[in-house]
Chains A and B, each alone.
Chain A
Amino acid sequence: MPIQITEAGVDFIRQCLQTYQGETWFLLLFAGAMLLLFWLKDPESRTLRLLLWPYFTVLVCTVYNILIMQVFIRKLNLSGEYYRFFWLLPLGIVIPYVCTRLTASGNGRMKKILVFLLLTIVIAAAGAPAWSRKLPITSNPYRIPDDMIIACDIIKKDAKRERLEDVGVVFDFNLNLLVTQYDPSFRVIIPYESMMTTVNTGRTKTDTDNIWLNSRITLVELLMLDRYWVPHEDFMSALNVTETAYVVYDASGPNHDYLLGAGLAEIGRTDDYVIYKYGWYFDRLYKSRGYVKFEF
C-alpha cells in the first residue's frame, strides 16, 4: 500500500525515507549530479544547469512542499498517491548525463573504461535492482502462472461437455486476480472489489443482511482465507445463490475433505490447485433440461 500524503501529512517524508530505506541512495546521486553541473564548464552543462536549477527550485517550492500539497490534494479530491510527483525529478537525464561527461573526461581508453566501471558500481550500489522483486521467469506467452491456463482449460473442456455457456467459477485468490485478464468469458463469482474488501478488512457476513454479498463473503472466507468453521449448509447455500459451477482451490489448503463433503467432485488438478465441480449445480441443470444423468 503506497504511503498516502493525505494520511501521513507532514510526516510523509520521514515515513517514505523509513519505508524505502536502502532504495533512496540514488537521490544522493541525483543531488551530486545536480551539483556537478556547476563544476562542468561546457555550454551544454550550462544549458542544463540554467534550465534545471530554477525548475528544481520551483518544484521544491510547490509540489514538493508537503504543507501546500496536503491541502491541495485534499481540497481537489485528487489521488493521494503523491509519489508520482517524484517522477518529475530529472534523475534519468541528469545522472546519465553527468556520468557520461565524467567518463568522457578520462584521458585514454583505459581511464575511460575504469571511470565507466566505477560509475556503474556506484549506480548499482545506490539503488535496488529491478530483479530484487524476485519475479519468476515466464514459461508462457501470457506471462501468467501456467496453473491459470491449465485450470481454465480443464473447466472449459468440462463446461463444453456439459453444454454449459454461463460458467460461474470461484477461483483461488491469486487466480481470481488474473482470470478476467486471461479469459473474460468466465463468470467470476467473487468480483475483485468484494474479494479485496473482505480480505483486507476481515469483514464477516454478520456485518450486513445483503444475501448477494453475504454469499460471496462466505466463499472468500472458506476458499481464500481458509476458515473452515462455516457450516456445510451455509457454504452450499452460498454456492447455490451465486450459481457456482466450479471451484478452483489451493492444493495445499486445509479444506479439501470439507469440499468433498459439500458435494464437490475433483475433475482435475494443476501443480498448485485442485479443480472441483459442484454436483448440486449440475443436478439442477440436468433437471431443468428434463433428464437425469446416470453415473457409472
Chain B
Amino acid sequence: MAESAENRLNRLVQANSEENRYEWARKWKAGGKPVAAMLCSYVPREVLYAAGFLPWRVTGVWSEATPLALLYRPSWSTPRNTRILELALRGDLDFVDALVGTDWDIDLKRLWDEWTALKSPKLSHLMFVPRFTTELHQATFRQSIAKLLAEVEASSGVKVSPQALNQAIRLYKEMRELIQRMYELRKRETPAVSGAEALGITTAALVMPPEEFNTELKALLPYLETRQASLASKHPRLLVSSDFLDDLRYLELVEDTGCVVAMDDLDTGSRYFMTGPEESATDPLMALAKGYLARTGCPRMADWDEQINQVIKWVKEFHIDGVLELRLNYSMIRHMRSPFLKSAMEEAGIPFLSLPREHHFANESQLRTRIGALVEILQAA
C-alpha cells in the first residue's frame, strides 16, 4: 500500500531528529562517497556537493550531558558548539571526511579548532566570511570559496568544473524554490504546516542528499496545498527569531501555548532558503559569493538595520502579530543586537519578547510561562 502523504510529510519533518539524522550520511558513505560536516550556514554547500561530498549540517547532542566537551569549553560558551564537540569527542562523528567551519563568531571558530585538534579529520577547513557585503567583500569571499574548492578537490581527487558547480547551484536553487513554496503556504490564515513542521522540513534539507529532499518535497507540495496544519490555535501568529535552532520541540512548545509560528528568522530556515546564488556561465564562484552574502544576514554580519528591516517586512508579509526572539545562551553577538531588535519592533508597533534558550530542549516550564503570557496578551488584543 502506498504511504500516505501525511506519513511521508512526518518522515520528512523528522529527517533531522536525533534518531534519523545520521542515516543520510551513512547511506551516502555506503555508496563510497564522502561526507562533509558543515558548522554554519555560510558554508557554500554547492562547492562540497559538486566535489562529491554530502554537505551535512551538524546538530549537537540534544539528550545527554556533555562531560567530554566541558573539559575544553567554559560554561559561558554557546551550548550548541559544546554539544557538537561532545558528539565529536564521543566518536559519533568519526565518519565525517571533511569538517568545514567559518568565523561566524569566535565561539564557532574555536569549536572548529577543538574538533580539528582533537580528532584530526581527513580534511579540516576554516573559511573566512566577510562581515560586509560590498563588491570588495564579495571578491574576497570569492577567494575564500576558491580556497575551499581547492582543498576539497585535493582531498576528494575530483576536479570540479564550472559546469559541475553550476549544476550544484541549480540543484540547491531548486531546493530553495521548493522551500519558498512551502513558506508561501504559511501565509494562509491556517498555514499548511506548523512552525515546528516547517523547521523540521528546513533542517531536513540541511542533512539529506539534495536530490532526495527535492523529490520528497516536490511530491508533497500538492498535498500541502490542501493541508491545514493541526494547531491548538491559529491566532496569534508569531515570528520566531534565533540562530542555530534545530530542535523542533522549541517551536512545538511555542505553538502549544496557543499560537502559530507562521514565519521564522532563522539561519536554519528563512535566512538560508529565501534567497540564494544564481547560476553563472562566467564565474560560478563569484555567483556563490554574491548569493551567500546577499541573503538576510545573521547577527554576525554588520548590516543590523537590514536584518531588522527584513524581519519587519516578514511581519507584514506573513501577517504576524508578534515577534519572539529565542536567544541562544552565550551567543554574544545575538545578545548585543537584541536591544536594537527590541527597540525597532517597539517603534514599528510590533509586540516583542526576547528569551534565552539552551541548545537542547530545556527550561520548558519557564519558557511556557513567559511565552504563554505573550500569547495571552496577543489573543486579547
Q: Are A and B genuine complex partners?
A: no
A residues apposed to B, CB below 8 Å? none
